[in-house]
Structure 1
Amino acid sequence: MKTFIKRREKNTELVVVYAGWGIDENMFVPLSSDDTDLILFYDYSADEALVLPEIKTYTRVTVIGWSLGVWAAEHLSGKTGIAPDLKIAVNGTPLPADDRYGIPLKIIEGTLEKLDAVNVKKYYYRIFGDKKSFEENRERIPKRTTKSLQDELRWLYNRMMEQSDPAFKWDYAVISEKDRVFPASSQINYWKTRDETKILMLPMNHYILNKWSDYRSFIDYVCKHGKSRRKRTVTPGL
Protein backbone atom coordinates (compact mmCIF):
# COMPACT_ATOMS: atom_id res chain seq x y z
CA MET A 1 0.00 0.00 0.00
CA LYS A 2 1.14 3.51 -0.75
CA THR A 3 0.44 6.69 1.17
CA PHE A 4 0.53 10.31 0.03
CA ILE A 5 0.62 12.94 2.78
CA LYS A 6 0.31 16.71 2.52
CA ARG A 7 0.16 18.75 5.71
CA ARG A 8 0.82 22.19 7.15
CA GLU A 9 1.10 23.00 10.82
CA LYS A 10 -1.50 25.78 10.65
CA ASN A 11 -4.23 23.62 9.11
CA THR A 12 -7.15 22.54 11.28
CA GLU A 13 -8.93 20.21 8.85
CA LEU A 14 -7.88 16.79 7.56
CA VAL A 15 -9.25 14.81 4.62
CA VAL A 16 -8.42 11.10 4.47
CA VAL A 17 -9.06 9.49 1.08
CA TYR A 18 -9.12 5.76 0.38
CA ALA A 19 -8.78 5.32 -3.38
CA GLY A 20 -10.07 2.45 -5.48
CA TRP A 21 -8.28 -0.20 -7.51
CA GLY A 22 -5.69 0.74 -10.12
CA ILE A 23 -5.32 4.33 -9.00
CA ASP A 24 -2.46 6.64 -8.11
CA GLU A 25 -2.22 10.15 -6.69
CA ASN A 26 -3.04 11.85 -10.03
CA MET A 27 -6.78 11.49 -9.44
CA PHE A 28 -6.86 12.89 -5.92
CA VAL A 29 -4.01 15.30 -5.26
CA PRO A 30 -5.43 17.99 -7.63
CA LEU A 31 -8.24 18.59 -5.12
CA SER A 32 -5.80 19.20 -2.29
CA SER A 33 -5.76 22.82 -1.10
CA ASP A 34 -3.24 24.64 1.06
CA ASP A 35 -5.72 25.10 3.92
CA THR A 36 -6.60 21.41 4.36
CA ASP A 37 -4.29 18.50 5.18
CA LEU A 38 -4.55 15.35 3.06
CA ILE A 39 -3.75 11.67 3.60
CA LEU A 40 -4.32 9.45 0.56
CA PHE A 41 -4.16 5.64 0.62
CA TYR A 42 -3.88 3.74 -2.66
CA ASP A 43 -2.23 0.76 -4.42
CA TYR A 44 -3.28 -1.89 -1.92
CA SER A 45 -0.91 -4.59 -3.11
CA ALA A 46 0.72 -5.95 0.05
CA ASP A 47 0.26 -6.34 3.79
CA GLU A 48 2.67 -3.59 4.69
CA ALA A 49 3.17 -1.85 8.01
CA LEU A 50 1.16 1.36 8.14
CA VAL A 51 3.44 4.33 8.75
CA LEU A 52 1.75 7.65 9.45
CA PRO A 53 2.95 10.93 10.92
CA GLU A 54 1.75 11.90 14.36
CA ILE A 55 -1.86 12.95 13.95
CA LYS A 56 -2.50 16.53 15.03
CA THR A 57 -5.63 17.75 16.74
CA TYR A 58 -8.05 18.76 14.00
CA THR A 59 -11.37 20.57 14.22
CA ARG A 60 -12.74 18.26 11.52
CA VAL A 61 -11.56 14.96 10.05
CA THR A 62 -13.39 13.68 6.97
CA VAL A 63 -12.95 10.21 5.50
CA ILE A 64 -13.81 9.73 1.82
CA GLY A 65 -13.90 6.21 0.42
CA TRP A 66 -14.14 5.96 -3.36
CA SER A 67 -15.00 2.77 -5.23
CA LEU A 68 -13.19 -0.17 -3.55
CA GLY A 69 -11.85 2.45 -1.17
CA VAL A 70 -15.13 2.20 0.75
CA TRP A 71 -14.14 -1.35 1.66
CA ALA A 72 -10.51 -0.30 2.24
CA ALA A 73 -11.58 2.40 4.69
CA GLU A 74 -13.31 -0.20 6.83
CA HIS A 75 -10.50 -2.73 6.44
CA LEU A 76 -7.79 -0.26 7.48
CA SER A 77 -9.63 2.00 9.90
CA GLY A 78 -8.53 0.09 12.98
CA LYS A 79 -4.88 0.37 11.97
CA THR A 80 -4.73 4.10 11.27
CA GLY A 81 -5.81 5.47 14.63
CA ILE A 82 -7.73 8.19 12.78
CA ALA A 83 -11.14 9.03 14.27
CA PRO A 84 -13.27 10.73 11.59
CA ASP A 85 -16.02 13.23 12.29
CA LEU A 86 -17.60 12.66 8.88
CA LYS A 87 -17.56 9.64 6.54
CA ILE A 88 -18.54 9.82 2.86
CA ALA A 89 -18.78 6.74 0.63
CA VAL A 90 -18.53 7.51 -3.09
CA ASN A 91 -19.55 4.94 -5.71
CA GLY A 92 -18.83 1.89 -3.62
CA THR A 93 -20.01 -0.27 -0.73
CA PRO A 94 -18.30 -2.19 2.08
CA LEU A 95 -19.14 -5.40 0.15
CA PRO A 96 -17.50 -4.72 -3.21
CA ALA A 97 -17.18 -8.34 -4.38
CA ASP A 98 -20.82 -9.32 -4.14
CA ASP A 99 -23.52 -10.17 -6.66
CA ARG A 100 -26.17 -8.10 -4.90
CA TYR A 101 -24.30 -5.37 -3.05
CA GLY A 102 -21.17 -4.92 -5.12
CA ILE A 103 -19.47 -5.87 -8.38
CA PRO A 104 -20.51 -9.38 -9.49
CA LEU A 105 -17.89 -11.97 -8.59
CA LYS A 106 -17.67 -13.28 -12.15
CA ILE A 107 -16.61 -9.82 -13.36
CA ILE A 108 -13.86 -9.48 -10.76
CA GLU A 109 -12.62 -13.02 -11.38
CA GLY A 110 -12.76 -12.51 -15.15
CA THR A 111 -10.75 -9.31 -14.81
CA LEU A 112 -8.11 -11.16 -12.80
CA GLU A 113 -7.82 -13.81 -15.49
CA LYS A 114 -7.78 -11.55 -18.54
CA LEU A 115 -6.16 -8.32 -17.41
CA ASP A 116 -3.82 -6.83 -20.01
CA ALA A 117 -2.86 -3.36 -21.26
CA VAL A 118 -5.92 -3.16 -23.52
CA ASN A 119 -8.32 -4.03 -20.72
CA VAL A 120 -6.61 -1.59 -18.35
CA LYS A 121 -7.28 1.22 -20.82
CA LYS A 122 -10.91 0.13 -21.14
CA TYR A 123 -11.18 0.20 -17.36
CA TYR A 124 -9.98 3.80 -17.25
CA TYR A 125 -12.45 4.68 -20.01
CA ARG A 126 -15.26 3.30 -17.83
CA ILE A 127 -14.01 5.21 -14.79
CA PHE A 128 -14.43 8.49 -16.67
CA GLY A 129 -17.50 7.30 -18.55
CA ASP A 130 -16.33 7.33 -22.15
CA LYS A 131 -13.35 8.04 -24.40
CA LYS A 132 -14.14 11.76 -24.69
CA SER A 133 -14.13 12.29 -20.92
CA PHE A 134 -11.04 10.10 -20.69
CA GLU A 135 -9.18 12.40 -23.09
CA GLU A 136 -10.40 15.54 -21.30
CA ASN A 137 -8.99 14.23 -18.02
CA ARG A 138 -5.77 12.80 -19.38
CA GLU A 139 -3.67 14.51 -16.70
CA ARG A 140 -5.56 12.52 -14.02
CA ILE A 141 -5.16 9.11 -15.63
CA PRO A 142 -3.10 6.81 -13.36
CA LYS A 143 0.40 5.93 -14.48
CA ARG A 144 0.50 2.34 -13.28
CA THR A 145 1.85 -0.81 -14.90
CA THR A 146 -0.43 -3.70 -15.82
CA LYS A 147 1.47 -5.96 -13.43
CA SER A 148 0.93 -3.54 -10.54
CA LEU A 149 -2.82 -3.62 -11.22
CA GLN A 150 -2.78 -7.42 -11.37
CA ASP A 151 -0.93 -7.67 -8.06
CA GLU A 152 -3.24 -5.18 -6.40
CA LEU A 153 -6.46 -6.80 -7.63
CA ARG A 154 -5.26 -10.23 -6.53
CA TRP A 155 -4.48 -8.87 -3.06
CA LEU A 156 -7.83 -7.06 -2.88
CA TYR A 157 -9.77 -10.10 -4.04
CA ASN A 158 -8.19 -12.34 -1.41
CA ARG A 159 -8.85 -9.84 1.38
CA MET A 160 -12.38 -9.02 0.26
CA MET A 161 -13.27 -12.70 0.43
CA GLU A 162 -12.30 -12.62 4.11
CA GLN A 163 -14.40 -9.55 4.90
CA SER A 164 -16.67 -9.77 7.93
CA ASP A 165 -19.91 -7.86 8.38
CA PRO A 166 -19.40 -4.11 7.92
CA ALA A 167 -19.18 -2.13 11.14
CA PHE A 168 -18.47 1.37 9.84
CA LYS A 169 -21.31 3.88 10.01
CA TRP A 170 -21.12 6.01 6.88
CA ASP A 171 -22.82 9.39 7.07
CA TYR A 172 -23.34 9.79 3.32
CA ALA A 173 -23.36 7.54 0.27
CA VAL A 174 -22.92 9.29 -3.07
CA ILE A 175 -24.10 7.18 -6.00
CA SER A 176 -23.53 7.96 -9.68
CA GLU A 177 -26.40 6.94 -11.93
CA LYS A 178 -24.06 6.47 -14.91
CA ASP A 179 -21.47 4.38 -13.06
CA ARG A 180 -19.95 1.83 -15.47
CA VAL A 181 -17.64 0.24 -12.90
CA PHE A 182 -19.61 -0.27 -9.68
CA PRO A 183 -23.29 -0.80 -10.59
CA ALA A 184 -25.56 1.90 -9.18
CA SER A 185 -28.23 -0.77 -8.58
CA SER A 186 -25.86 -2.67 -6.28
CA GLN A 187 -25.04 0.49 -4.39
CA ILE A 188 -28.71 1.30 -3.92
CA ASN A 189 -29.40 -2.27 -2.78
CA TYR A 190 -26.77 -1.95 -0.08
CA TRP A 191 -27.26 1.60 1.16
CA LYS A 192 -31.03 1.33 1.48
CA THR A 193 -30.35 -1.25 4.21
CA ARG A 194 -28.38 1.33 6.20
CA ASP A 195 -30.83 3.72 7.82
CA GLU A 196 -28.07 5.84 9.31
CA THR A 197 -26.63 6.70 5.88
CA LYS A 198 -28.02 9.54 3.76
CA ILE A 199 -28.07 8.78 0.03
CA LEU A 200 -27.29 11.30 -2.69
CA MET A 201 -27.81 10.34 -6.34
CA LEU A 202 -25.87 12.22 -9.02
CA PRO A 203 -26.13 12.03 -12.84
CA MET A 204 -22.40 11.31 -13.15
CA ASN A 205 -19.83 8.60 -13.91
CA HIS A 206 -17.69 6.48 -11.59
CA TYR A 207 -15.07 9.18 -11.03
CA ILE A 208 -16.76 12.43 -10.01
CA LEU A 209 -14.18 14.49 -8.14
CA ASN A 210 -13.08 16.35 -11.27
CA LYS A 211 -16.37 18.27 -10.96
CA TRP A 212 -15.18 20.09 -7.82
CA SER A 213 -12.21 22.40 -7.31
CA ASP A 214 -11.20 21.06 -3.90
CA TYR A 215 -12.22 18.65 -1.16
CA ARG A 216 -13.90 21.27 0.99
CA SER A 217 -16.30 22.28 -1.78
CA PHE A 218 -17.11 18.61 -2.46
CA ILE A 219 -17.73 17.87 1.22
CA ASP A 220 -19.88 20.98 1.64
CA TYR A 221 -21.90 20.02 -1.44
CA VAL A 222 -22.58 16.52 -0.16
CA CYS A 223 -23.57 17.78 3.28
CA LYS A 224 -25.90 20.37 1.76
CA HIS A 225 -27.70 18.08 -0.68
CA GLY A 226 -27.64 14.79 1.20
CA LYS A 227 -30.03 15.81 3.95
CA SER A 228 -32.87 13.44 3.13
CA ARG A 229 -32.65 9.74 4.06
CA ARG A 230 -34.72 8.98 0.99
CA LYS A 231 -32.56 8.84 -2.12
CA ARG A 232 -32.97 11.79 -4.46
CA THR A 233 -31.30 12.95 -7.64
CA VAL A 234 -29.55 16.30 -7.66
CA THR A 235 -28.05 18.04 -10.66
CA PRO A 236 -24.92 19.85 -9.45
CA GLY A 237 -24.67 23.54 -10.06
CA LEU A 238 -20.92 23.82 -9.66
Structure 2
Amino acid sequence: MQTAWIIRSAADEIPAKNGVIVFAAGWAGSDELVRRRPLPEGYDFLCLYDYRTLPSPEETVNLYAWLEPYRTRHLVAWSFGVWAAGRIFGESPVGWDTATAIGGTPRPVSDRYGIPERAFAVTVRSIGGAGTVKFLERMCGTPEILREYYRHRSTRPLEEIYEELLSLRRQALAAPPELPEPGFWTRAVVGGRDAIFPPEQMWRYWNEAGVPVEVCPDMPHYPLYEPHILTSCIAPDETR
Protein backbone atom coordinates (compact mmCIF):
# COMPACT_ATOMS: atom_id res chain seq x y z
CA MET A 1 0.00 0.00 0.00
CA GLN A 2 1.07 3.56 -0.63
CA THR A 3 0.26 6.64 1.42
CA ALA A 4 0.26 10.30 0.42
CA TRP A 5 -0.43 13.31 2.61
CA ILE A 6 -2.37 15.89 0.61
CA ILE A 7 -2.38 18.27 3.59
CA ARG A 8 -0.20 17.66 6.64
CA SER A 9 0.43 19.96 9.58
CA ALA A 10 3.55 20.11 11.69
CA ALA A 11 3.23 18.33 15.04
CA ASP A 12 2.79 21.57 16.99
CA GLU A 13 0.00 22.70 14.63
CA ILE A 14 -2.17 19.58 14.97
CA PRO A 15 -4.08 20.77 18.09
CA ALA A 16 -5.41 23.74 16.11
CA LYS A 17 -6.77 21.55 13.31
CA ASN A 18 -10.36 20.32 13.13
CA GLY A 19 -8.96 16.82 12.64
CA VAL A 20 -7.79 14.45 9.94
CA ILE A 21 -9.56 12.82 7.00
CA VAL A 22 -8.28 9.50 5.66
CA PHE A 23 -9.41 8.66 2.13
CA ALA A 24 -9.02 5.04 1.02
CA ALA A 25 -9.14 5.11 -2.78
CA GLY A 26 -10.46 2.29 -4.90
CA TRP A 27 -8.65 -0.06 -7.25
CA ALA A 28 -6.29 1.72 -9.68
CA GLY A 29 -6.59 4.93 -7.67
CA SER A 30 -3.92 7.26 -6.39
CA ASP A 31 -3.55 10.59 -4.63
CA GLU A 32 -4.17 12.28 -7.99
CA LEU A 33 -7.89 11.61 -7.49
CA VAL A 34 -8.03 14.16 -4.67
CA ARG A 35 -4.87 16.26 -4.91
CA ARG A 36 -6.34 19.01 -7.10
CA ARG A 37 -9.81 19.15 -5.54
CA PRO A 38 -11.25 21.52 -2.96
CA LEU A 39 -11.08 19.64 0.34
CA PRO A 40 -12.92 20.25 3.63
CA GLU A 41 -11.29 23.21 5.38
CA GLY A 42 -9.42 22.84 8.63
CA TYR A 43 -8.45 19.19 8.18
CA ASP A 44 -5.27 17.37 7.34
CA PHE A 45 -5.84 14.84 4.56
CA LEU A 46 -4.21 11.45 4.02
CA CYS A 47 -4.79 9.28 0.94
CA LEU A 48 -4.30 5.49 0.89
CA TYR A 49 -4.04 3.56 -2.38
CA ASP A 50 -2.36 0.67 -4.25
CA TYR A 51 -3.41 -2.47 -2.42
CA ARG A 52 -1.13 -4.96 -4.16
CA THR A 53 0.13 -5.60 -0.65
CA LEU A 54 -1.31 -4.34 2.62
CA PRO A 55 0.85 -2.65 5.26
CA SER A 56 3.24 -4.73 7.32
CA PRO A 57 2.68 -4.79 11.11
CA GLU A 58 5.38 -2.14 11.55
CA GLU A 59 3.86 0.08 8.85
CA THR A 60 0.42 -0.33 10.40
CA VAL A 61 1.71 0.79 13.80
CA ASN A 62 3.29 3.84 12.18
CA LEU A 63 0.00 4.65 10.44
CA TYR A 64 -1.89 4.48 13.72
CA ALA A 65 0.73 6.75 15.31
CA TRP A 66 0.20 9.36 12.59
CA LEU A 67 -3.52 9.51 13.35
CA GLU A 68 -3.50 9.29 17.14
CA PRO A 69 -2.74 13.01 17.90
CA TYR A 70 -5.81 14.35 16.08
CA ARG A 71 -8.85 15.26 18.15
CA THR A 72 -11.24 14.06 15.43
CA ARG A 73 -10.66 11.39 12.79
CA HIS A 74 -12.81 10.68 9.75
CA LEU A 75 -12.51 7.78 7.33
CA VAL A 76 -13.92 7.89 3.79
CA ALA A 77 -13.45 4.74 1.72
CA TRP A 78 -14.50 4.14 -1.87
CA SER A 79 -15.00 0.91 -3.79
CA PHE A 80 -12.22 -1.60 -3.00
CA GLY A 81 -10.94 0.93 -0.49
CA VAL A 82 -13.81 -0.18 1.76
CA TRP A 83 -12.35 -3.68 1.89
CA ALA A 84 -8.79 -2.37 2.33
CA ALA A 85 -9.77 0.00 5.15
CA GLY A 86 -11.48 -2.85 6.97
CA ARG A 87 -8.32 -4.92 6.78
CA ILE A 88 -6.01 -2.06 7.79
CA PHE A 89 -8.07 -0.55 10.60
CA GLY A 90 -10.07 -3.55 11.78
CA GLU A 91 -8.06 -3.90 14.98
CA SER A 92 -6.88 -0.31 15.27
CA PRO A 93 -6.71 1.30 18.72
CA VAL A 94 -7.47 4.59 16.96
CA GLY A 95 -11.21 5.29 16.81
CA TRP A 96 -13.21 7.11 14.15
CA ASP A 97 -15.70 9.92 14.63
CA THR A 98 -17.20 8.96 11.28
CA ALA A 99 -16.39 6.10 8.89
CA THR A 100 -18.21 6.23 5.57
CA ALA A 101 -18.17 3.49 2.93
CA ILE A 102 -19.04 4.64 -0.61
CA GLY A 103 -19.76 2.24 -3.45
CA GLY A 104 -18.30 -0.87 -1.85
CA THR A 105 -18.47 -3.45 0.92
CA PRO A 106 -16.00 -5.45 3.02
CA ARG A 107 -16.95 -8.43 0.79
CA PRO A 108 -16.05 -6.93 -2.60
CA VAL A 109 -16.01 -10.17 -4.63
CA SER A 110 -19.17 -11.96 -3.63
CA ASP A 111 -22.30 -13.29 -5.30
CA ARG A 112 -24.30 -11.95 -2.36
CA TYR A 113 -22.55 -8.85 -1.02
CA GLY A 114 -20.31 -7.45 -3.77
CA ILE A 115 -19.27 -7.93 -7.39
CA PRO A 116 -20.35 -11.42 -8.54
CA GLU A 117 -17.35 -13.67 -9.12
CA ARG A 118 -18.19 -14.23 -12.79
CA ALA A 119 -18.49 -10.49 -13.46
CA PHE A 120 -15.19 -9.86 -11.70
CA ALA A 121 -13.49 -12.53 -13.82
CA VAL A 122 -14.75 -10.78 -16.96
CA THR A 123 -13.26 -7.51 -15.71
CA VAL A 124 -9.89 -9.18 -15.11
CA ARG A 125 -9.85 -10.56 -18.66
CA SER A 126 -10.89 -7.29 -20.29
CA ILE A 127 -8.50 -4.80 -18.67
CA GLY A 128 -6.33 -3.15 -21.30
CA GLY A 129 -7.19 -1.15 -24.43
CA ALA A 130 -10.86 -0.96 -25.33
CA GLY A 131 -11.78 -3.04 -22.29
CA THR A 132 -10.41 -0.40 -19.94
CA VAL A 133 -12.27 2.38 -21.73
CA LYS A 134 -15.53 0.44 -21.46
CA PHE A 135 -14.93 -0.14 -17.75
CA LEU A 136 -14.38 3.58 -17.15
CA GLU A 137 -17.53 4.44 -19.10
CA ARG A 138 -19.54 2.09 -16.91
CA MET A 139 -17.85 3.40 -13.77
CA CYS A 140 -18.72 7.02 -14.56
CA GLY A 141 -22.12 6.56 -16.14
CA THR A 142 -22.23 9.71 -18.29
CA PRO A 143 -19.80 11.45 -20.70
CA GLU A 144 -19.74 14.51 -18.43
CA ILE A 145 -18.70 12.53 -15.36
CA LEU A 146 -16.16 10.58 -17.44
CA ARG A 147 -14.54 13.85 -18.52
CA GLU A 148 -14.39 14.95 -14.89
CA TYR A 149 -12.73 11.66 -13.96
CA TYR A 150 -10.10 12.04 -16.69
CA ARG A 151 -9.07 15.40 -15.21
CA HIS A 152 -8.12 13.64 -11.97
CA ARG A 153 -7.34 10.08 -13.02
CA SER A 154 -4.33 8.17 -11.79
CA THR A 155 -1.27 7.93 -14.03
CA ARG A 156 -0.13 4.63 -12.55
CA PRO A 157 1.12 2.15 -15.21
CA LEU A 158 -1.36 -0.39 -16.60
CA GLU A 159 0.87 -3.29 -15.54
CA GLU A 160 0.81 -2.07 -11.95
CA ILE A 161 -2.95 -1.66 -11.71
CA TYR A 162 -3.51 -5.04 -13.38
CA GLU A 163 -1.25 -6.62 -10.78
CA GLU A 164 -3.28 -4.83 -8.11
CA LEU A 165 -6.54 -6.19 -9.55
CA LEU A 166 -5.25 -9.76 -9.45
CA SER A 167 -4.00 -9.29 -5.90
CA LEU A 168 -7.32 -7.84 -4.75
CA ARG A 169 -9.20 -10.76 -6.25
CA ARG A 170 -6.92 -13.26 -4.55
CA GLN A 171 -7.12 -11.54 -1.17
CA ALA A 172 -10.88 -10.96 -1.33
CA LEU A 173 -11.66 -14.56 -2.22
CA ALA A 174 -9.50 -15.72 0.70
CA ALA A 175 -11.77 -13.83 3.12
CA PRO A 176 -13.62 -15.64 5.93
CA PRO A 177 -17.22 -16.86 5.43
CA GLU A 178 -19.59 -14.21 4.14
CA LEU A 179 -21.06 -12.85 7.35
CA PRO A 180 -21.59 -9.08 7.64
CA GLU A 181 -19.12 -7.53 10.04
CA PRO A 182 -20.10 -3.89 10.61
CA GLY A 183 -16.93 -3.13 12.54
CA PHE A 184 -16.30 0.60 12.79
CA TRP A 185 -18.46 1.76 9.87
CA THR A 186 -20.97 4.48 10.75
CA ARG A 187 -22.59 5.04 7.36
CA ALA A 188 -22.74 3.59 3.85
CA VAL A 189 -23.53 5.39 0.59
CA VAL A 190 -24.88 3.37 -2.34
CA GLY A 191 -25.20 4.76 -5.86
CA GLY A 192 -28.46 3.81 -7.52
CA ARG A 193 -26.74 3.81 -10.94
CA ASP A 194 -23.63 1.93 -9.87
CA ALA A 195 -22.71 -0.38 -12.77
CA ILE A 196 -19.66 -1.91 -11.03
CA PHE A 197 -20.92 -2.95 -7.58
CA PRO A 198 -24.60 -3.98 -7.90
CA PRO A 199 -26.58 -1.57 -5.69
CA GLU A 200 -28.83 -4.31 -4.34
CA GLN A 201 -25.79 -6.33 -3.25
CA MET A 202 -24.32 -3.39 -1.37
CA TRP A 203 -27.64 -2.51 0.23
CA ARG A 204 -28.04 -6.12 1.35
CA TYR A 205 -24.64 -6.19 3.04
CA TRP A 206 -25.03 -2.95 4.94
CA ASN A 207 -28.64 -3.61 5.86
CA GLU A 208 -27.77 -7.04 7.30
CA ALA A 209 -24.78 -5.49 9.08
CA GLY A 210 -27.01 -2.88 10.72
CA VAL A 211 -25.16 0.11 9.24
CA PRO A 212 -27.27 3.11 8.12
CA VAL A 213 -27.47 3.24 4.31
CA GLU A 214 -28.07 6.27 2.12
CA VAL A 215 -29.09 5.45 -1.46
CA CYS A 216 -28.27 8.21 -3.97
CA PRO A 217 -30.50 7.34 -6.95
CA ASP A 218 -28.46 9.14 -9.64
CA MET A 219 -24.95 8.33 -8.42
CA PRO A 220 -22.75 6.03 -10.55
CA HIS A 221 -19.87 4.03 -9.11
CA TYR A 222 -17.50 7.02 -9.31
CA PRO A 223 -18.62 9.53 -6.63
CA LEU A 224 -16.01 12.27 -6.72
CA TYR A 225 -17.71 14.24 -9.49
CA GLU A 226 -19.97 15.54 -6.72
CA PRO A 227 -18.03 18.54 -5.30
CA HIS A 228 -19.38 18.22 -1.76
CA ILE A 229 -19.13 14.44 -1.38
CA LEU A 230 -16.18 14.50 1.03
CA THR A 231 -17.70 17.24 3.18
CA SER A 232 -21.00 15.38 3.27
CA CYS A 233 -19.21 12.31 4.62
CA ILE A 234 -17.79 14.09 7.65
CA ALA A 235 -20.63 16.56 8.26
CA PRO A 236 -23.81 15.47 6.43
CA ASP A 237 -25.95 18.29 7.81
CA GLU A 238 -23.68 20.95 6.32
CA THR A 239 -24.53 19.93 2.73
CA ARG A 240 -28.31 19.71 3.09
Normalization by structure 2: what TM-score?
A: 0.83
Indicate the residue corresponding to 1:42 in structure 2.
Answer: 49
Deviations 1:122-166 (A, max 9, x none): 222222213332124421122222211210011111111122253
Paired letter, 1:105: E
Indicate the residue corresponding to 1:90 in structure 2.
Answer: 102
Paired letter, 1:59: R
**In 1: Cα distance, 2:92 partner to 2:209 partner:** 24
Judge conservation of contact 1:62–1:86 (CA < 8 Å) in 2. yes
Indicate the residue corresponding to 2:33 in structure 1.
Answer: 27
Indicate the residue corresponding to 1:7 in structure 2.
Answer: 8
Indicate the residue corresponding to 2:24 in structure 1.
Answer: 18
Judge conservation of contact 1:91–1:206 (CA < 8 Å) in 2. yes
Alignment size in residue pairs: 224
Match of 1:201 among 211, 215, 218: 215
Residues 1:65 and 2:71 aligned together: no
**In 1: Cα distance, 2:137 partner to 2:40 partner:** 27
Q: Which sections of structure 1, spanning at least 5 residues, go unmatched?
A: 226-235
Once the two structures are overlaid, the 10-residue window that deviates more, 76-85 or 106-115, is 76-85
**In 2: Cα distance, 1:48 partner to 1:98 partner:** 24
Deviations 1:191-223 (A, max 9, x none): 11122x1111112111223312473344222xx
Give secondary structure in 1 for the equivalent of 2:209: coil
Judge conservation of contact 1:124–1:141 (CA < 8 Å) in 2. no
Matches within 5 A, 1:19-168: 19-29=25-35, 30-33=37-40, 35-49=42-56, 50=59, 52=63, 54-78=66-90, 82-164=94-176, 165=179, 166=181, 168=183
Paired letter, 1:72: A
Judge conservation of contact 2:54–2:88 (CA < 8 Å) in 1. no
> Structure 2 vs 1, CA of residues 55 and 191 (structure 1 numbering), >3 Å: closer, same or farther?
closer
**In 2: Cα distance, 1:47 partner to 1:199 partner:** 27
RMSD: 2.4
**In 2: Cα distance, 1:7 partner to 1:169 partner:** 24
**In 2: Cα distance, 1:191 partner to 1:56 partner:** 28
Judge conservation of contact 2:90–2:183 (CA < 8 Å) in 1. no
Paired letter, 2:50: D
Deviation at residue 85 of structure 1 after TM alignment = 1.9
Paired letter, 1:22: A
**In 1: Cα distance, 2:184 partner to 2:73 partner:** 15
Which one has a larger percent helix, Structure 1 or Structure 2? 2
**In 2: Cα distance, 1:25 partner to 1:135 partner:** 18
> Structure 2 vs 1, CA of residues 47 and 214 (structure 1 numbering), >3 Å: closer, same or farther?
closer
- What percent identity do the matched residue pairs reach? 25
Paired letter, 2:44: D
Q: Spell out structure 1 runs of 4+ moving beyond 6 A.
A: none
Judge conservation of contact 2:25–2:47 (CA < 8 Å) in 1. yes
Once the two structures are overlaid, the 10-residue window that deviates more, 31-40 or 86-95, is 31-40
Give secondary structure in 1 for the equivalent of 2:151: helix
Give secondary structure in 2 for the equivalent of 1:210: coil
